Amino acid sequence: MKRIAVMTSGGDSPGMNPAVRSITRAGLHKGLEIFGIRSGYQGLVDGDLIPLDSHSVSGRIRDAGTFLQTSRCPEFVKPEVQLRALKVLEQHRIDGLVVIGGDGSLKGARALHSYGLPVIGLPGTIDNDLFGTDMGIGVDTALNTIISLVDMIRATAASHRRCFVVEVMGRGSGYLGLMTTISTGSQVAVIPEFRMNIDSIVEVLDSRSNANHNASVIIVAEGVCQGAEFMQRLTENGKVKQEVRLTVLGHVQRGGTPTHYDRLLASRMGEMAVLALISGEKGSMVATVNGKMQLRDFDEILDRRKALPGDAIRLARNIGIEIGDVVES
């Protein structure tokens, strides 16, 4: 292992820069040459590689986003496109690859690994929907961004005695929605893992109005439906007595400055990826399980659905959060 490349892929997540920095610095320290692939799989296929030295990653521990840039590249599922990528890596004499991204990006990594290329993945998605790791890079920052925004919304909600519906990210997972409902003191979580019950939600709002509470907040994960659609269902036939307003948080959730947790997690995972490649490991994702770093085979973790933490569901119910009905499987 003499030369390794690193890329960020899919939706950006805060902590991708600290991960690339750690991979670069740890790799250089171990005597490797490091290349950055720009714009994810698209850049790989197009041969857009740049050498990285210690200076190239200076200060990146503080930066949100990904300075290598990223893209979504649906074409990468095609074997001919994968073969083109392998050719580019061969031309640049790359011996090992680190891919930082979510589920789709790690499936691309597994495809490259299946041709014999040593590949290590890092979980980089704010959704925290990757099976096999307790946390992904960027999740903590996104949670903190959401809670600071919802705290602001609650202030104006209370002034006007309103109910707010807040749409948060999470394409197929209610992790961000559930956790931030708990940590912002919101009343309702509408998340894909549970079936919403509009009548119960209306009851919660009514009983809060009757008890003279000034504000109520409902967090809706985008994986269930758009906030506007939920608003319509909630307010049709004048079901809710209070005024209701909608805020869609959108991409600001991905743009926060990485928190301490994400800087450290990304740095530890990046270093581990380098050590793994040097020691001959391949075809796996770096994971954190009960606070310990582990390597988990792609085949063991991809194509599996990550469940929400059971203790968070219990906590939500025990402190009176309305989260809907269990969906029968």
* Structure tokens that stand for 267 in this block: 């740095």
Minimum distance from residue 146 beta carbon to ligand F6P (Å)? 11
C-alpha closest to that of 181 among 228, 147, 144, 226:
147
Question: Angle, to 10 degrees, between the axis of helix 260-278 and the axis of helix 139-160?
Answer: 160
Structure tokens at 44: 């790989």
Note if 206 is an active site residue: no
* CB 17 to ligand F6P: min, Å: 17
Distance CA 219, CA 213 (A): 18
CB of 258 to ligand F6P, least distance (A): 15
Q: Exposed (0-12), middle (13-18) or buried (19+): which is 305, by Cβ within 10 Å?
A: exposed
The angle that helices 227-235 and 198-210 make with each other, rounded to 10 degrees, is: 70
Residues in contact with ligand F6P by the rule CB under 6 A = 11, 72, 102, 125-127, 169-171, 222, 254
Residue number, 72 or 208, with CB nearest to ligand F6P: 72
Choice between 170 and 174, CB closer to ligand F6P: 170
Is 172 or 185 the residue whose CB approaches ligand F6P more closely?
172
- Residue pair 188/240 in contact (Cβ under 8 Å)? The answer is no
> Which residues lie below 8 Å from residue 232, measured CB to CB, with a gap of 6+?
none
Q: What is the distance between the alpha carbons of residues 205 and 216, in angstroms, rounded to a whole number?
A: 7
Q: Least Å distance between CB 173 and ligand F6P?
A: 8
Question: For the chain, how many residues are written?
Answer: 329
Q: Which of 277, 299, 10 is nearest to 120 (CA)?
A: 277
Nearest approach, Cβ of 221 to ligand F6P (angstroms)? Answer: 9
200-203 contacts at long range (C-beta below 8 A, 24 or more positions apart): 200/322, 200/324, 201/234, 201/322, 202/234, 202/239, 202/240
Cβ distance to ligand F6P smaller for residue 96 or 256: 256
Cβ closest to ligand F6P, residue 18 vs residue 101: 101
- Tell me whether residue 56 or residue 71 sits nearer to ligand F6P (CB atom): 71
In the complex with ligand F6P, which residue's Cβ is closer, 221 or 269? Answer: 221
From 127, 129, 140, 262, active-site residue: 127
- Shortest Cβ 94–ligand F6P spacing (Å): 26
DSSP E strands, the chain: 3-8, 33-37, 49-52, 96-101, 119-123, 163-168, 188-190, 194-195, 216-221, 244-248, 284-289, 292-297, 325-326
Smallest separation, CB 222 to ligand F6P (Å)? 6
Q: Which residues are tagged catalytic?
A: 127
